[in-house]
Amino acid sequence: MTAWFRVGTLEEILARVPPAPPRRARRGVSAWLRHSEPGDKLSARWEHQASGWEVRHCGHPTANWPYYATTPEGRVVVASNGRGWRTLKDAQAAVEELAAGR
């Protein structure tokens, strides 16, 4: 029977655990640079490095549509529903399409 636990010192156990891939590779958002502190969701600000567009959180802790975009010139862009986007992933995907001219 295989044991569900590992025996050894912490250093020995950690030496056998493969390293995690870099964070950007796991998330798949390498085109984006975060300008806010991790964990500070209410003032989150992400920059699309290729175009200069930004995705920001509105700052309201219970907002249903908290993410909006800004152009490099500073104009605010919202979703076609007149609100922001529900998720960061959706907002970033929309900015990538807008920046590409689609």
Could you read off the pLDDT of 57-92 as tens digits, one per residue? 999 999 999 999 999 999 999 998 889 999 999 999
Task: Decide if pLDDT at 1 tops 70.
Answer: no
Q: What is the mean pLDDT of the chain?
A: 81
Query: 16 or 84: whose pLDDT is higher?
Result: 84
pTM for the full predicted model: 0.68
Q: Rounded to whole angstroms, how far apart are CA atoms 62 and 19?
A: 36
DSSP SS3 for 75: coil
Q: What is the mean pLDDT of residues 2-17?
A: 65
Query: 53 or 37: whose pLDDT is higher?
Result: 53
Task: Decide if pLDDT at 9 tops 50.
Answer: yes
Residue with tokens 């998720």: 87
Q: Rounded to whole angstroms, how far apart are CA atoms 80 and 16?
A: 50
Q: Please tell me the predicted confidence (pLDDT) of residue 25.
A: 44
Query: 101 or 88: whose pLDDT is higher?
Result: 88
| 22's tokens | 């870099």
Q: Please tell me the predicted confidence (pLDDT) of residue 20.
A: 65
